[in-house]
Amino acid sequence: MTENNSASRRELLKSVLGLGAVAGGLASCASTSAERASRSGAQYMGDFAAPALDRIRLGFIGTGLRGSGHVRQMLMMDGVDVVAICDSNPKAAASSAKACVDAGRAAPAVYDRGEEDYKRMLEEVELDAVLIATPWRWHAPQGIAAMEAGAHAFLEVPIATTLDEIWALVDTSEATGRHCMMMENCCYGRNELLFLNMVRKGVIGELTHGEGAYIHDLRGQMAEVDIGEGNWRVAHHTLRDGNLYPTHGLGPIAQMMGLERGTDRFERIVSFSSPAFGRALAAQRVLPPDHPRNQTNYICGDMNSSLIKTKLGRTLLVQHDVTSPRPYTRLNTISGTRGTLADYPLRVALDPEGKGAHSWLQSEEQLAPVFKEHEHPLYGRVGEEARKAGGHGGMDFIMLWRIAYCLRNGLPMDQNVYEGASWSAVCPLSETSVAKGGNPQLFPDFTRGRWQETKPLGVVS
């Protein structure tokens, strides 16, 4: 393929994946963001709580690998009725509809007539909330349509991939008065909850630095051509160079630091990518030489490292590598003046009196008293049920349980729209920084100056 052909193919793919704003570059995004941040929003959603719902009429858009798990777990929650299911793949929709019937529930309405059929579902079925687990390009249009139809929107990660789309979700949430929560399940991991509880108790002192990552060898997705996540996710590696998936590592640390709510703000980011070798090698190994995946360039660096500086001067390292043969890690590390909590493996270094003791707790035996004293109460309340239900060690269940609980009790969501927006903004901001040789990029203030009005997330139970 010639360079010109390759470039025009890339432009075509970008438009198919809805990546126009990325192609537009930083200057336009930055001025758009500054201008948008200076406009007053229809209503500030930081602590937004909707009227309590006795029962929740729930709809789903996207019931593939992820969405089908959400359907099965939501069927276990009190007061939740799964009333509509939409997936452009009729088999995926039918399988989740069957799961409802198998669970002894009424058959949901099914919408499986292609990629736009979610609009028919939103028109025909009155829904309190919609869970969206589709490929990234669909998150913003489907989230916006759900809120405009009067439903609360719960979106998979990242909330969207461009600053324009992220702003559009924020604007729509404010205009419609509907929740728009990005479902960052890792905020409900047992260790992440433990760390949050310890941070809120002041155990590690003044926070200085955090580390989060998504390092997960997903090269197996190169063989997923017609179905599965690889079917749509691989194309992003041919079009974008930056952190494509920042929120699993970043979200929990950002909550610990109270970023975008009450304590501190994301200020700027610099980002660098390593060479991109692994995807092409994986394609060569699993696909014939004339396969389109062997006829394209992979531009996303195998490892992307970003450094973020906050308003209070704290630092965060955020990494993304789904291509190298490496052990899984989300890093999940938070440092303060009196200690550091680190994961993969779990280690706790505490120096409450500032004596400079160079030791840490790591064995199960050493950590048992830490869990005894600081286990997050939410884990105590639903941890056992969550472990039995499964789904990333139980954190999916705890997240969905909290969503149902907050909706049924008229409480604010644990993650507000501005948090999902700023965590996801690392995608486009890192891409721009990489493209500009590591130049610092400013985070938009999605709260439009109102971030101090919302307290950091407490220790909810």
Ligand X SMILES: NC(=O)c1ccc[n+]([C@@H]2O[C@H](COP(=O)([O-])OP(=O)(O)OC[C@H]3O[C@@H](n4cnc5c(N)ncnc54)[C@H](O)[C@@H]3O)[C@@H](O)[C@H]2O)c1
Binding site for ligand X (CB under 6 A): 61-67, 86-89, 92, 115, 118, 133-136, 138, 156-157, 185, 228-229, 231, 392
Partner residues linked to 81 by β-bridges: 57
Where do we find the tokens 């998150």?
139
Instruction: State how far the Cα of 423 lies from the Cα of 75, in Å rounded to an integer.
Output: 29
Q: Which is nearer to ligand X, 269 or 395 (CB)?
A: 395
Pick 339 or 394: Cβ nearer ligand X: 394
Question: Residue 257, Cβ neighbours under 10 Å: how many?
Answer: 24
* Coil, strand or helix at 164: helix
Q: Say how many residues make up the chain.
A: 461
Distance CA 451, CA 457 (A): 13
| Shortest spacing between CB 132 and ligand X, in angstroms | 8
H helix and E strand count, the chain: 17, 14
Q: Which residue number, 189 or 336, has a Cβ lying nearer to ligand X? A: 189
CB of 44 to ligand X, least distance (A): 27
Largest CA distance in the chain: 66
CB of 379 to ligand X, least distance (A): 18
Q: How far is the CB of 309 from ligand X (least distance, A)?
A: 27
Residue nearest to ligand X (CB): 64
The residue among 231 and 284 lying less far from ligand X, judged by its C-beta, is 231
Integer-rounded Cα Rg, in Å, for the chain is 22
The least distance separating ligand X from the CB of residue 74, rounded to whole angstroms, comes to 15
**Is the Cβ–Cβ distance between 162 and 428 less than 8 Å?**
yes
**End-to-end CA, the chain:** 57
Least separation in angstroms between residue 130's CB and ligand X is 11
DSSP, res 99:
H
**Cβ-based nearer residue to ligand X, 122 or 198:** 122
Query: For residues 229 and 267, which CB has a smaller minimum distance to ligand X in the complex?
Result: 229
Q: What angle do CA 307, 313, 315 make, to 5 degrees?
A: 30
